[in-house]
């Protein structure tokens, strides 16, 4: 049987468990309430932020409209009334701003619940929407009068561009229509298609007077008409003077002076084989200046000026003489390595086109040998470059350059080169440097002589003592460096250097160790 003490204990335990359950239920309810309160506060914060943004946009619209009204020198009655209404609207917007600013403070101080604050935000949104509707209505009902248009600017001459004068108010939205009449105070007729603020006078406008009308559009009303231009004159003609400058390659030519000096024209320079021949445009030569190039040598140069704007017609001028060179040849110099199979180059002074100069190369027994009519030139060596051959070893080289120009023909002879060296034998190549490993770069060893010029070829062989052969060439490995690839693993690498440009012989390096994979 249970004792009375045991029963009392169980009763107390049950009561405690009931209290704990009630407490837990209360905690859950408070947690839910707290979560709902946070959600409402978050919504309040978001609503306030959105309302603040919207309010800023509306206030900006009001300020912009007030500024526009303030810029009108003599506002109409409707515009003045609009300004008064906007002032009242600004007061309403400021009241909304004040309510919005104090909202958070009231909630924080416990003077306003989040639910009540949300209702305030909702009402403020309604007030703001009403304010926005008021602005839309005010703007829709407002009209601005276009009161004046200033004089037309531009020259009243066929080909010239006219521009409508400034409007009052300057920001008015209008459409334009240009008109013409036989007399200044006559009946003006619309010019077809002339409906922008600019108009270019055409031949049919000659002897007439021009006006432009501006008609308000959108919130702007009224039509204003400009004063008439002076009588429109026909396009003017012009003449061009003689070309100035010497007709020489590299010397700038300038188109002659225009008469009248203010004439507007475009330029095109041309060239022809004879003064009276067929002229061809010189590409890109479209300014008042032109500098002949070597391609213009021996040709006559013409400039053609074509009237634009208020000017019509063309004017031409031709150089007095064909284009020549500024000087005859004064010298020729040989450069290049003085060794068998090296290339020598002749350079003349002053620099001219290769087609204007003929070359003859000579291999002479001494540096002081004089070239005369009996001296035999090297066969087929007739350009400004010559590649030395084995037979030139021990000889001295000279070149004679003969220039043929408009002013005559001159020949110049170079100084002799030093004694042409024979082929030099390459005697050795050092060991390949670098680790024989896939992905690690190898470098060919040093040559003897060290300054030798060579071609390289790398080889992959099965054993260190295997001789190189075409079958073992590594495709594309023709510089002084090579990086082994995976398929080279287990094999040996060699490199062969073969002399060129004054060097002869071929040397083969020792093999690397077997290529390994890291």
Whether 365 shows a pLDDT value over 80: the answer reads yes
Whether 492 shows a pLDDT value over 70: the answer reads yes
Q: Of all residues in the chain, what percent carry a pLDDT higher than 90?
A: 54
pLDDT at residue 505 in the model = 93
**Are 196 and 260 within one domain?**
no
Higher pLDDT residue, 111 or 46?
111
Contacts of 274 (CB under 8 A, 6+ apart): 300
pLDDT at residue 55 in the model = 55
pLDDT at residue 6 in the model = 37
**Bridge partners, residue 333, by sequence:** 347
**Are 194 and 129 within one domain?**
no
pLDDT at residue 96 in the model = 62
Cis amide bond preceding 260, omega within 30: yes
Alpha helices in 109-185, H assignment, sequence order = 114-141
Whether 506 shows a pLDDT value over 70: the answer reads yes
Question: 299 near 280, Cβ under 8 Å?
Answer: no
pLDDT at residue 61 in the model = 54
Q: Please report whether residue 213 resides in a domain.
A: yes
pLDDT digits (tens, 9 = 90+) for 79-131: 555 556 556 656 666 666 676 666 666 666 666 565 665 676 667 667 666 76
**Are 88 and 73 within one domain?**
yes
**Are 38 and 132 within one domain?**
yes
**Are 259 and 299 within one domain?**
yes
DSSP secondary structure letter of residue 142: -
d(CA 27, CA 496): 91
Render 221-250 in DSSP notation, one character per residue. Answer: E-EEEPPP-SPPBPPBP-EE---BS--BTT
pLDDT at residue 218 in the model = 80
299-313: average pLDDT: 91
285-299: average pLDDT: 90
pLDDT at residue 97 in the model = 64
**Are 397 and 365 within one domain?**
yes
What's the CATH number where 179 sits?
A: 2.60.40
The last residue of a domain, from among 290, 318, 346: 318
**Are 408 and 449 within one domain?**
no
Q: Which residue has the tokens 């979560």?
A: 35
Q: Please report whether residue 202 resides in a domain.
A: yes
Q: Please report whether residue 23 resides in a domain.
A: no
pLDDT digits (tens, 9 = 90+) for 55-79: 555 555 555 555 555 544 444 445 5
**Bridge partners, residue 149, by sequence:** 167
Q: Please report whether residue 515 resides in a domain.
A: no
290-317: average pLDDT: 90
372-380: average pLDDT: 94
Range of the domain at 396: 331-413
Q: Please report whether residue 7 resides in a domain.
A: no
Q: Please report whether residue 201 resides in a domain.
A: yes
pLDDT at residue 37 in the model = 41
pLDDT band at 327 (very low <50, low <70, confident <90, very high): low
The last residue of a domain, from among 394, 413, 432: 413
pLDDT at residue 135 in the model = 61
DSSP secondary structure letter of residue 274: S
**Are 213 and 253 within one domain?**
no
**Are 41 and 132 within one domain?**
yes
Whether 491 shows a pLDDT value over 60: the answer reads yes
pLDDT at residue 4 in the model = 46
**Are 395 and 311 within one domain?**
no
pLDDT band at 196 (very low <50, low <70, confident <90, very high): very high
C-alpha distances in Å from residue 220, one per residue of 31, 53, 71, 149? 62, 31, 15, 14
The last residue of a domain, from among 120, 142, 164: 142
Whether 133 shows a pLDDT value over 50: the answer reads yes
**Are 428 and 456 within one domain?**
yes
Whether 240 shows a pLDDT value over 90: the answer reads yes
Listed range (93-107, 267-281, 311-325) with the worst mean pLDDT: 93-107
Q: What is the total count of domains within the chain?
A: 5
202-229: average pLDDT: 93
Q: Please report whether residue 261 resides in a domain.
A: yes
Contacts of 87 (CB under 8 A, 6+ apart): 66
pLDDT at residue 300 in the model = 95
What's the CATH number where 433 sits?
A: 2.60.40.2700
Listed range (40-44, 307-311, 393-397, 400-404) with the worst mean pLDDT: 40-44
| Closest to 399 in 3D by CA, of 407, 411, 409 | 411
**Are 118 and 162 within one domain?**
no
pLDDT digits (tens, 9 = 90+) for 416-446: 999 998 888 999 999 999 999 999 999 999 9
Cis amide bond preceding 169, omega within 30: yes
d(CA 395, CA 364): 6
Q: Please report whether residue 11 resides in a domain.
A: no
CA angle 230-163-155, nearest 5°? 40
pTM as predicted? 0.37
DSSP secondary structure letter of residue 324: B
């Amino acid at each position: 049987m249970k004792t009375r003490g045991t029963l009392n204990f169980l009763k107390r335990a049950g009561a405690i468990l009931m209290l704990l359950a009630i407490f837990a239920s209360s905690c859950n309810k408070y947690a839910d309430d707290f979560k709902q309160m946070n959600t409402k506060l978050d919504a309040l914060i978001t609503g306030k932020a959105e309302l603040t943004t919207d309010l800023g946009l509306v206030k900006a619209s009001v300020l912009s409209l007030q500024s526009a009204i303030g810029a009108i020198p003599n506002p109409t009655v409707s515009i003045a009334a609009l300004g008064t209404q906007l002032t009242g609207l600004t007061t309403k917007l400021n009241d909304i701003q004040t309510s919005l600013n104090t909202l958070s403070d009231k909630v924080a101080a416990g003077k306003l619940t989040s639910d009540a604050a949300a209702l305030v935000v909702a009402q403020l949104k309604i007030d703001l929407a009403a304010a926005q509707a008021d602005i839309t209505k005010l703007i829709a009902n407002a009209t601005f009068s276009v009161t004046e248009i200033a004089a037309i600017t531009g020259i009243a001459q066929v080909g010239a561009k006219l521009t409508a004068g400034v409007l009052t108010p300057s920001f008015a939205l209008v459409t334009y229509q240009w008109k013409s009449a036989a007399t200044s105070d006559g009946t003006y007729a619309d010019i077809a298609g002339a409906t922008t603020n600019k108009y270019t006078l055409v031949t049919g406008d000659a002897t007439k007077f021009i006006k432009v009308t501006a008609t308000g559009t959108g919130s702007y009303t009224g039509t204003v008409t400009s004063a008439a231009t002076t009588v429109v004159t026909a396009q003017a003609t012009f003449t061009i003077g003689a070309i100035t400058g010497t007709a020489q390659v590299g010397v700038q030519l300038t188109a002659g002076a225009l008469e009248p000096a203010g004439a507007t024209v475009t330029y095109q320079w041309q060239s022809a084989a004879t003064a009276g021949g067929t002229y061809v445009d010189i590409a890109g030569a479209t300014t008042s200046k032109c500098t002949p190039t070597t391609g213009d040598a021996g040709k006559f140069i013409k400039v053609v000026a074509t009237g634009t704007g208020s000017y019509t017609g063309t004017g031409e001028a031709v150089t007095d003489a064909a284009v020549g060179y500024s000087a005859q040849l004064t010298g020729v110099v040989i450069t290049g390595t003085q060794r068998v199979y090296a290339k020598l180059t002749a350079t003349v002074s002053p620099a001219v086109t290769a087609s204007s100069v003929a070359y003859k190369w000579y291999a002479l027994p001494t540096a002081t040998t004089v070239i005369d009519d009996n001296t035999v030139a090297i066969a087929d060596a007739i350009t400004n470059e010559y590649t030395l051959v084995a037979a030139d070893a021990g000889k001295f080289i000279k070149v004679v350059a003969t220039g043929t120009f408009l002013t005559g023909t001159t020949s110049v002879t170079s100084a002799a080169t030093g004694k042409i060296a024979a082929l030099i034998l390459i005697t050795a190549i050092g060991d390949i440097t670098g680790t024989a490993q896939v992905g690690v770069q190898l470098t060919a060893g040093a040559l003897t002589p060290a300054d030798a010029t060579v071609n390289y070829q790398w080889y992959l062989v099965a054993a260190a003592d295997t001789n190189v052969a075409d079958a073992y060439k590594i495709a594309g490995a023709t510089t002084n460096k090579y990086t082994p690839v995976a398929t080279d693993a287990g094999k040996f690498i060699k490199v062969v250097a073969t002399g060129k440009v004054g060097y002869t012989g071929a040397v083969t390096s020792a093999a690397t160790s077997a290529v390994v994979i890291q």
